[in-house]
């Protein structure tokens, strides 16, 4: 729950990261309060209390709230205050989608976006960015309000607005003073790295990057055990009030699995190329990713199994990852698309040829990404499709295959050599850099969950 400057109370919940589900907010209000009941089609819930009764007691902490009697003048003031709605962009959202789902007329939404184009490209909208929409109260109108403005916070601390004026919508821009700091988190894994890291406050964007970096060497289904540890330090941009504007690049991360530490370091070589390296100066990047989706639970491994549909034992020539429908699927390695389309029991299917020996295949997809077609060159980590349940499938998941000379092999057992290996002067430069990074890790306190709870948020107004 957050409190806007207008005095209205807002409760917002968004779909859980990596398909963990939708948090449900139950809001009780006294008789006479009106609640906007329009629910966006993309499962993001945004509810406003138009005439709130809860007010902070003078001099008390914001969390200490009390029910106070309201005077006629206060109720009249509330009736004049604008209505604010905040929505958060998710993967695949467009600015127009978000405005329409918030109840804005399509013509007004397009006019506002056209005004914003003079200072911002709407295609630069990223998952996690927030848009605050303002409605002015208009007594006597059809729904009692009119769309008047929206504001967008960018990753660089800019607040961009499109406001209704006498001759249409006008764009505006304000900048906040931004400073760089480093944040340090660590914890013990009891179930999965994903659950432990989120529980200890690691931002979802940082966790995603960390999982990708380790996915070349770690089987997150089998290698992670209770009692293993994680550690991560990353860049963070904050404004003058200490509010987080943007969580940036990982500088250092480590997994300690069965007592063995696996540290990695972000390093920019003398030619300007950026990658993650182990302590020996070997790039963590391999020819192929072990997990081409940001979901780490294997629902069915490689080998003989009882087929869930056919009802008899059959060789399972790939690995199934349990992910919700619509999860982005990444190319496991750079290569040329050999097949892109429907393929019998595989459903929607993509196969990529990486070199003369290796290919990878992706099946049961809900749809292909724009531009995924036969003959197209794709880069490692590029989104090529979205998971689904097409073809012979009991539910949404990704079926992933690695083929060597056109024969399927176990993706979890294939060993690939490291990518770039630093040597000579470059290795010496790397060693010096990692010593500085290690010193910074030692000097930077680990953020505790208590400190996190008291830290100002960019969502506080």
Listed by start position, the domains of the chain span 2-175, 185-286+431-453, 298-409
| CA end-to-end span of the chain | 11
- Fold match between 2-175 and 298-409? no
Structure tokens at 383: 């989104």
Q: Which residues of 315-337 are buried (b: 16+ CB within 10 A; e: fewer)?
A: ebbbbbbbbbbebbbbbbbbbeb
Cβ atoms of 153 and 458 closer than 8 Å? yes
The sign of the dihedral angle between the CA atoms of 362, 364, 368, 374 is positive
Structure tokens at 399: 């079926």
Structure tokens at 319: 């690995």
The residues pairing with 305 across neighbouring beta strands, listed in sequence order, are: 314
User: 2-175 adopts what CATH topology?
Assistant: Nuclear Transport Factor 2; Chain: A, (3.10.450)
Structure tokens at 375: 């003959």
Residue ranges for the chain with pLDDT beneath 50: 1-68, 75, 305, 310, 312, 450-454, 456-461
Give me the CATH code for the 298-409 domain, please.
2.70.70.10
Q: How far is CA 110 from CA 97, 105, 158, 242, 283, in A?
A: 11, 9, 22, 34, 46
pTM (two decimals): 0.52
Q: Which residues, other chains included, contact 209 with Cβ-Cβ below 8 Å and sequence gap of 6+?
A: 249, 250
Arithmetic mean of pLDDT over the chain: 75
d(CA 164, CA 282) in angstroms, rounded, equals 55
Structure tokens at 387: 């998971």
Per the document, the length of the chain is 461
Instruction: State residue 114's pLDDT score.
Output: 93
Instruction: State residue 155's pLDDT score.
Output: 64
Long-range own/partner contacts, residues 105-114 (CB < 8 A, 24 or more apart): 105/147, 108/147, 109/147, 111/168, 111/169, 112/147, 112/149, 112/150, 112/162, 112/164, 112/169, 113/162, 114/169
d(CA 436, CA 258) in angstroms, rounded, equals 27
Instruction: State residue 287's pLDDT score.
Output: 75
The CATH architecture to which 185-286+431-453 belongs is: Roll (3.10)
Residue 286: closest CA among 213, 386, 350, 205:
213
């Amino acid at each position: 729950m957050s409190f806007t400057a207008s005095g209205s109370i807002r409760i917002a919940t968004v779909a859980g990261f990596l398909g963990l589900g939708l948090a449900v907010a139950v809001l009780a209000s006294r008789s006479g309060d009106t609640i906007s009941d329009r629910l966006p089609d993309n499962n993001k819930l945004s509810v406003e209390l138009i005439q709130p009764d809860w007010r902070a007691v003078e001099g008390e902490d914001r969390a200490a709230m009390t029910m106070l009697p309201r005077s006629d003048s206060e109720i009249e003031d509330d009736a004049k205050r604008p209505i604010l709605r905040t929505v958060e962009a998710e993967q695949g959202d467009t600015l127009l989608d978000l405005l329409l789902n918030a109840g804005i007329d399509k013509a007004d939404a397009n006019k506002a976006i056209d005004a914003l184009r003079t200072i911002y490209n709407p295609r630069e909208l990223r998952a996690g960015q927030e848009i605050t929409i303002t409605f002015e109260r208009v007594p006597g109108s059809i729904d009692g309000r009119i769309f008047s403005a929206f504001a967008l916070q960018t990753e660089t601390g800019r607040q961009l607005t499109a406001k209704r004026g006498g001759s249409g919508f006008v764009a505006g821009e304000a900048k906040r003073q931004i400073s760089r700091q480093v944040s340090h988190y660590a914890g013990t894994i009891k179930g999965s790295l994903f659950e432990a890291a989120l529980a200890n406050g690691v931002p979802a964007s940082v966790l995603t990057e960390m999982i990708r970096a380790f996915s070349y060497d770690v089987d997150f289904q089998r290698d992670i055990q209770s009692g293993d540890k994680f550690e991560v330090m990353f860049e963070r941009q904050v404004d003058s009030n200490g509010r987080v504007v943007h969580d940036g690049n990982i500088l250092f991360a480590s997994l300690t699995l069965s007592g063995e530490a696996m540290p990695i370091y972000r390093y920019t070589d003398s030619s300007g190329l950026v990658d993650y390296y182990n302590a020996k100066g070997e790039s963590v990047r391999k020819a192929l990713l072990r997990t081409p989706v940001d979901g780490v639970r294997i629902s069915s491994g490689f080998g003989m199994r009882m087929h869930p549909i056919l009802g008899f034992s059959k060789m399972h020539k790939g690995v199934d990852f349990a992910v919700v429908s619509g999860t982005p699927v990444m190319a496991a390695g750079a290569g040329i698309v050999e097949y892109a389309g429907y393929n019998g029991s595989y459903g929607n299917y993509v196969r990529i040829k990486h070199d003369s020996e290796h290919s990878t295949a992706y099946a049961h997809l809900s749809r292909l990404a724009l531009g995924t077609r036969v003959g197209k060159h794709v880069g490692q980590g590029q989104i090529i499709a979205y998971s689904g349940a097409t073809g012979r499938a009991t539910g949404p998941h990704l079926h992933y295959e690695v083929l060597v000379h056109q024969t399927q092999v176990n993706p979890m057992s294939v060993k690939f050599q490291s990518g770039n290996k630093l040597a000579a002067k470059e290795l010496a430069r790397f060693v010096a850099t990692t010593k500085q990074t290690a010193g910074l890790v030692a000097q930077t306190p680990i953020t505790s969950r208590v400190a996190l709870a008291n830290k100002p948020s960019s969502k506080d107004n």
